[in-house]
């Protein structure tokens, strides 16, 4: 049990729609990262937030955006969904250490 | 850019036997960490073991140990006395510090099946 929870666990959207995924981190974990895991692949870094500001970003377009809130929760927003956005989206938190604590992920299917 | 390569998509091992999962990485960084994460069917990634690059001694965590060869950029995971609960996807990961926070690079994973 990592103390990181994500919602929803599964969702289905259609191309062009927008989606918001949510994550609740462990209390005190001031850094949250989001990863995209396509089927059969390892997780790929989307971005990271520290104290409500983005402080690192992977190779993802601007239609992937995020928010982090003072209560250690965060959101991943994806606009103009494409078929290739279908994946497991993982949230991970840390408290300035080297270990990531992952949630169980949100499985997004884009039709 | 950092890359992590896991050349074994699938492996199997008999219960109570030993298995080694391979991982190589490429980086020009001098300060980094290496990890093995386990992802069971429940999907939650769980840390198995961690190795700091500046440490020459190989990390050990109960039945799990690593063989870290820094010059060769190799980081293999050995699981001793394999148990049914070890069945999962195993991901090798490289982490570089981002100042505040870190960025992880994952390999494509090795699916391990422990056979009763």
Nearest to A88 among B43, B101, B102 (CB): B43
- pLDDT (tens digit, 0 to 9) for every residue of chain A, 111 residues total? 778 999 999 999 999 999 999 999 887 888 899 999 999 899 999 999 988 899 889 899 999 999 999 888 999 999 999 999 999 999 999 876 667 889 999 999 999
Tell me the residue ranges of DSSP E strands in chain A: 5-7, 10-13, 19-24, 31-37, 44-50, 53-57, 64-68, 73-78, 87-94, 101-102, 106-110
Instruction: Report how many Cβ contacts below 8 Å link chain A to chain B.
Output: 72
Distance (Å) from the C-alpha of residue A37 to the closest C-alpha of chain B? 10
Give residue A7's Cα distance to chain centre: 10
Average pLDDT for B56-75: 94
Give residue B107's Cα distance to chain centre: 9
Interface check A7 vs B, CB under 8 A: no
Task: State pLDDT tens for residues B10-52.
Answer: 999 999 999 999 999 999 888 899 999 999 987 789 999 999 9
Q: String of b and e for A28-58 (b: at least 16 CB within 10 Å)?
A: ebbbbbbbbbeeeebbbbbbbbbeeeeebeb
Interface check A87 vs B, CB under 8 A: no
Rounded distance between C-alpha atoms, residue B94 and residue B47, angstroms: 13
């Amino acid at each position: 049990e990592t103390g990181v929870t994500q919602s929803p666990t599964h969702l289905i959207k259609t191309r062009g729609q927008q989606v918001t995924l949510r994550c609740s981190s462990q209390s005190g974990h001031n850094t949250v990262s989001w990863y995209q895991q396509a089927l059969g692949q390892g997780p790929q870094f989307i971005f990271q937030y520290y104290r409500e500001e983005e402080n690192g970003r992977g190779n993802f377009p601007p239609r992937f955006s995020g928010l982090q809130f003072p209560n250690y929760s965060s959101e991943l927003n994806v606009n103009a969904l494409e078929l290739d956005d279908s994946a497991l989206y993982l949230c991970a938190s840390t408290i300035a250490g080297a270990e990531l604590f992952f949630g169980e992920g949100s499985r997004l299917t884009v039709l | 850019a950092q890359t992590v390569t896991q050349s074994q998509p699938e492996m199997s091992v008999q219960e109570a036997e030993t298995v080694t999962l391979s991982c190589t990485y490429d980086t020009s960084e001098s300060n980094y960490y290496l990890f093995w994460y386990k992802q069971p069917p429940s999907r939650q990634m769980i840390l198995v073991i961690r190795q700091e690059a500046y440490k020459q001694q190989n990390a050990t965590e109960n039945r799990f140990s690593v063989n870290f060869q820094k010059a060769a950029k190799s980081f293999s995971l050995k699981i001793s006395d394999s148990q049914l609960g070890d069945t999962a996807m195993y991901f090798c990961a490289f982490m570089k510090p981002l100042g505040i926070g870190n960025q992880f690079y994952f390999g494509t994973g090795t699916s391990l099946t422990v056979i009763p």
